Amino acid sequence: MNRKDEHLLLAKAQQHKPKENDFDSVSFVHQSLVSISDDQIDLSTSVLGLELEVPFYINAMTGGSEKTKVFNQQLAMVAKATGLMMATGSVSAALKDPSVADSYTIVREENPDGLVLANMGAGRSAEDAQKMIDLLQADAFQIHINVPQELVMPEGEHDFELWEDNIRETIQAVDVPVIVKEVGFGMAHETIQKLLDLGVQAVDVSGRGGTSFTQIENSRRKRHELFYLNDWGQSTVISLLEAQPFVDDVTLLASGGVRDAFDIFKAVSLGANAVGISGTILNAVMSDGVDATIEMVEDWKAQLRTLYALTGKATTKDVQKNQLIITGAPKDWAELRGIDLRKLATR
């Protein structure tokens, strides 16, 4: 079976198991009086000059086979109907095998005027990045970093020496904004500082809590012996706490384990300019179809308007100032890492 198809099936299997995650450890300080009306609420946000109608988007997932072409087309249909930005999965497969390029270009064909992001791993060059951008006429570019996945993947890379140079050179060379993203293992503040030093202006902390690529890759190993890495990494909430010192220095994005509009709202309240959704939207398309997924997305927009009003916030930037109470595992982590949660609770 094609590796991309295998990833798709294993990711869907994970989505069949609704699970608690660290977003459940985030709550809000309720204020009984708010001064706001519905016509004041503006859900829009911006990411490196890209204007988004709402603070969430369809994050990188798939491509590279006939089967994934079908799902990329359906995801692009959802993006077009709802005005969401959409990222493709890694376009590297199209450079290796031009016959599968249409599994990616279908996104632009289906949504010619939408915001589309191309994606590649940090192991590839700036020259490759520009080829992928040109192929998709991409508005922005994602470089994903995925060391745990590569190490567990049976055919994965084990040489990461050039990754930092590749990131720096790609940012300098390409003609669109660049986002560096994890693939579900989260980030620590030391990593974010390194990325800033490389010239990165936008970071997707993409934490543990959703699709686990170590679990997927271990399932593809003959002996499944690396099961203990299934939950490797920091959660999205913990990663956003780690990112707090940088909220004024970098465009912060979040993804990983986002289940609904409330999780989107919590991630924005923790400083994310926008929130990427992968597994939840993919599962909706695969299980319920395009029309039902469009309806779900529109419902999320309506729910976000309710949540903005509930906390008396008119704009996405205002939401980032919500007072938050952090409990459970994220609180324990913050205390050990010297992150002052009182600032979030009393701002």
Show binding-site residues: 3-4, 60-62, 90, 119, 149-150, 181, 206, 211, 257-259, 278-279
DSSP assignments along 251-306, one per residue? EEEEESS--SHHHHHHHHHTT-SEEEE-HHHHHHHHHH-HHHHHHHHHHHHHHHHH
Pair of tokens at residue 84? 């969401």
Binding residues for Mg(2+): 150
Bridge partners, 274 (sequence order) = 253
Binding residues for substrate: 3-4, 149
Q: Where are the beta strands (DSSP E) in 82-222?
A: 86-87, 116-121, 140-145, 178-182, 202-204
Give φ, ψ of 210 to 5 degrees. -115, -130
- AA letter at 208: R
Angstrom CA distances, 83 to 58, 111, 299, stand at: 10, 10, 14
- Which H or E element spans position 104? helix 102-110
Pairing mode of beta strands 45-47, 202-204: unpaired
Cα–Cα distance for residue pair 177/277, rounded to 1 Å: 20
Binding residues for FMN: 60-62, 90, 119, 181, 206, 211, 257-259, 278-279
Q: Where are the beta strands (DSSP E) in the chain?
A: 26-28, 45-47, 50-52, 56-58, 86-87, 116-121, 140-145, 178-182, 202-204, 251-255, 274-277, 324-326
Report how far Cα 170 is from the mean position of its chain's Cα atoms.
20
